[in-house]
Amino acid sequence: MRFSISVFFSLMVFVGTSFAQNDFYKNNNTSQESEIDSQGNQKKIISRVDNQWYIGSTPVEEDIIVNAIKSNPLSADDYSTAMMFYYPSIFFGGVGGLALAYGLVSCLGNDEVGIYLTLGGAVSIGLAILLGHFSNNYYDSSIELYNMYIGDKPAFMVKLVPTEKGGLALAFSF
């Protein structure tokens, strides 16, 4: 009975992590790439409305957005940093989910190690959420850098800037 419960929780964790990955909904449609390329060298801003990505007013898939971001060295650097945080967050989320599920099952079976696995899984999931947040911030930053590179200025920016005495200050730009 205990084994079947742990297998069930493990399968639920694997299903959850597979839906969390961005590559799940991609298809191999290249007609959008040729449509964007046929518009000439005119650069257009990247935007997102709900769950749909746009270059200018043309709806596109996320892999085309990634190719556009990689065309600018500054935004490509932030994108690679975002992916540096993204993949460990997926790993720690999966490992934390497994540890949490197995720890809960072990707690029900009166094992002493169950509480430690549960706590370790919760900490691992917390780390995954934190890394995912950093990844999203860098991803958004890469899109803003791309849009600034083609001439679109953001309406509101918040930056940490150095002060005269060697400290940091919060700077707002409108």
CA distance 107 to 125: 19
Give the pLDDT confidence score for residue 95 in this predicted structure. Answer: 94
- Picking from 2-16, 98-112, 142-156, which range would have the lowest pLDDT averaged per residue? 2-16
- Is the model more confident about 6 or about 19? 6
Give the pLDDT confidence score for residue 152 in this predicted structure. Answer: 60
**Global pTM value:** 0.61
Average of per-residue pLDDT values in the chain: 75
- Is the model more confident about 70 or about 110? 70
CA distance 126 to 79: 23
pLDDT tens digit sequence for 114-147: 888 999 999 999 999 999 999 999 998 888 888 8
CA distance 53 to 61: 6
The confidence band for 51, taking pLDDT boundaries of 50, 70 and 90, is confident
- Is the model more confident about 46 or about 31? 46
CA distance 172 to 154: 12
Per the structure, the count of domains in the chain is 1
| Containing structural domain, residue 27 | 2-173
Question: Which class for 20: exposed (0-12), middle (13-18), buried (19 or more C-beta within 10 A)?
Answer: middle
Average the pLDDT over 65-78 and give the result. Answer: 87
DSSP structure class, residue 23: G
